[in-house]
Amino acid sequence: MRCSLFLINRFAQCLIIFRIRLEFLLIWFNLRHVEKNKTMSQSIKELIAGNRAWVKEVTESQPDFFKQLAEGQSPSFLWIGCSDSRVPATEITKTMPGAIFVQRNIANMVVHTDVNLLSVVYYAVKVLKVKHIIVCGHYGCGGVLAAMSNKKFGFLDNWLMNIKDVYRHHEAELDAIEDETERGDRFVELNVLEQAQNLSKISFLQEEWENGEFPYVHGWVYSLKDGLIKDLKVSANSNAELDKIFQYDV
């Protein structure tokens, strides 16, 4: 009997100790969670604060800027670039909001089944009447380098397949480059050239060329190392350079 009471008392004491430790653990976890939320909240607030500072800076130099911006947009350029956060179209070209219509995706691809991209291009050329379309890649592009490897990236492999097709078309040239960095840089350039050509294959873009000079299609590459843009010297405003199969009767 005494043994049973002793065991019961010990069990009760263990439960009490466990409960105390659990409560301390929950308090510690909640404090960490609150601190983490404070950090996250602060980082979001910094974006809002940055916006306020930017507005102040702009209005001081151009008092009517936002009034004019609200009246509408008439950009001369459509920018098809990479989603990489280090390649913002307006900042690297020193232009203000309203100057460049922008479409971005992983590795600045022009995929003919991408309804989002096609809608942007259609609106840019048919409604905004942009004068130039720029496909801009960047050296060190993660999407291009991923496509150059044989690694698996889950769902992303479906998108990377389009970039791998570019490698397949230029396999002999790329495989001959022994230095991996140099091969990656050349792959970036070839990808831009292919995407610029893919733009030229779009039927409604060829319609615009039939009716006039614009838009011109250009291929550029941005360097993260020095901030400079390299013009790949490809500018097209007709379908004359395309294989005949891609030249529509318009």
Shared-domain flag, residues 113 and 142: yes
Q: Tell me, yes or no, if 141 is annotated catalytic.
A: yes
Shared-domain flag, residues 169 and 144: yes
Non-local CB neighbours of 156 within 8 Å, separated by 6+ positions: 106, 146
Which CATH number goes with the domain that contains 232?
3.40.1050.10
pLDDT in tens, 228-237: 999 999 999 9
Check residue 133 and give its pLDDT: 98
Mark which of 44, 72, 100 sits at the end of a domain. Answer: 72
Q: Tell me, yes or no, if 157 is annotated catalytic.
A: no
pLDDT in tens, 120-150: 999 999 999 999 999 999 999 999 999 999 9
Shared-domain flag, residues 136 and 50: no
Check residue 7 and give its pLDDT: 60
Burial of 88 (0-12, 13-18, 19+ CB in 10 A): middle
Check residue 4 and give its pLDDT: 62
Q: Tell me, yes or no, if 226 is annotated catalytic.
A: no
195/236 Cα distance (integer angstroms)? 12
Q: Tell me, yes or no, if 112 is annotated catalytic.
A: no
- Catalytic hit among 21, 33, 86, 112: 86
- Catalytic hit among 84, 136, 183, 218: 84
Q: What is the mean pLDDT of the chain?
A: 92
Mark which of 14, 47, 72 sits at the end of a domain. Answer: 72
Shared-domain flag, residues 211 and 146: yes
Identify the residue whose tokens are 């838009």. 215
- Catalytic hit among 138, 183, 185, 218: 138
Identify the residue whose tokens are 């005494």. 2
Looking at the structure of the chain, the number of domains it has is 2
Q: Write out the H or E segment, with its range, that includes residue 231.
A: strand 229-236
Model pTM greater than 0.85? no
Mark which of 72, 88, 110 sits at the end of a domain. Answer: 72
Q: Which residues of 177-207 are buried (b: 16+ CB within 10 A; e: fewer)?
A: eeeeeebbbbbbbbbbbbbbbbbbbbeebbe
Shared-domain flag, residues 50 and 80: no
Identify the residue whose tokens are 């913002």. 88
Tokens of 156: 């992303």
Shared-domain flag, residues 113 and 57: no
Question: Where in the sequence is the domain holding 208, given as residue range(s)?
Answer: 75-246
149/237 Cα distance (integer angstroms)? 34
Are 135 and 216 in contact by the 8 Å Cβ rule? The answer is no
Q: pLDDT category, 154, cuts 50, 70, 90?
A: very high
Backbone angles phi, psi at 221, to 5 degrees: -135, 135
Q: Tell me, yes or no, if 82 is annotated catalytic.
A: yes
41/122 Cα distance (integer angstroms)? 39
pLDDT in tens, 198-245: 999 999 999 999 999 999 999 999 999 999 999 999 999 999 999 999
Shared-domain flag, residues 124 and 216: yes
